[in-house]
Amino acid sequence: MNINTYGYMRVSSADQNEDRQKIELLTWGVPAGNLFCDKLSGKNFSRPEYQKLKTLLKKGDLLVVKSIDRLGRNYLQIQEEWRYITKKLEADIVIIDMPLLDTRRDKDLLGTLISDIVLQLLSYVAETERQYIHQRQAEGIAAAKLRGVRFGRPVIPLPKNFKEIYLRWKAGEISLSEAADHTNMSKNQFKWAARKHRGFNRRS
């Protein structure tokens, strides 16, 4: 059986560089032609390169990732993907930065139990951290409101002739473009102002 080793990299946006991950994977021994990289958020696994990689994985193959967060940020989904790859596809996974997450080692009940416990712990820590972040955000917003900080889109002062132009536009005397020109606004600004301040419900 021909066994292949693949490496997966992920950065959150197109302007971020994956070189550090690439060097680690190549140094580990992953062939350069077997590297896959997504430049997308890790919030889910709907990533083209990752999905392409999964179609290539077969029994006995090895997937190498630098760190668990490069695989994804949602640890509940990571657990599902982990089980799919190791149980359904019967491939192995190695997380370079976390030696305990190496399914090639101790392929017995104890080894499987250790991997499951580590994944469960990561999931708990990640979920707890998300809850703390949301709590701190809510507390910060509440404190800011008490200080008089206003949130949302700032109020744009209307041109002095807005009401006159609005009524002419609403009556069909002038076009949206003309109304925008008369008020020195863009068409979107004029529509937003009309919708916000005059209950605008007319389609342009």
Question: Could you write out the DSSP letters of every residue in 175-198?
Answer: -HHHHHHHTT--HHHHHHHHHHHH
User: 15 with 64: CB under 8 angstroms?
Assistant: no
Which residue stretches of the chain are H helix?
A: 19-28, 48-56, 68-71, 75-83, 109-146, 162-170, 176-182, 187-198
The tokens describing 14, both together, are 């197109």
Contact 71, 81 (CB under 8 A): yes
CA distances from 36 to 29, 157, 196 (A): 14, 51, 48
What strands, in cross-sheet order, belong to the sheet with 62-65? Answer: 35-39, 5-11, 62-65, 92-95
Whether 12 is a known active-site residue: answer yes
Choice among 12, 46, 175, 204 that is catalytic:
12
Virtual torsion, Cα 132, 136, 142, 143, nearest 10 deg: 150
Which active-site residues does the annotation give? 12
